[in-house]
Amino acid sequence: MDTWGNKLLDAVHQVSEMAAIGMGLDRNAFRSRMQGGAQLLSPTGSDLEKNDVGAVFAGYHFDISFLTIHGKSRFPGLFAWTR
């Protein structure tokens, strides 16, 4: 789990650097502010045998972090709406 969590965190750091460069900012503009911030790395697996088909595990919600990253899902259901 630590190895996978570190890979996810490394990916978020890379994305934050690419976003900063794309916005014409210093490469570490976002990453430096992420240091020491709240990082929530946790398994979000759900027991699909205890729920009916079509059950909602995480309804409409906002994420609390600057960036959110998910591993590949084996099940459909993540929808993101942009402005």
Residue 13 lies in a domain: yes
Asked whether 4 and 70 are in contact (CB, 8 A), the reply is: no
* DSSP type of residue 60: S
- Tell me how many domains the chain contains: 1
For 67, the domain range is: 1-77
The 3-state DSSP class for residue 83 equals coil
At 5-55, the pLDDT tens digits run: 788 888 889 999 999 999 999 999 999 988 877 776 666 667 778 878 777
* DSSP type of residue 4: H
Residue 82 lies in a domain: no
Residue 23 lies in a domain: yes
Residue 83 lies in a domain: no
pLDDT score, position 69: 77
pLDDT score, position 43: 60
Q: How far apart are CA 46 and CA 43, in angstroms?
A: 9
Contacts of 48 (CB under 8 A, 6+ apart): 75
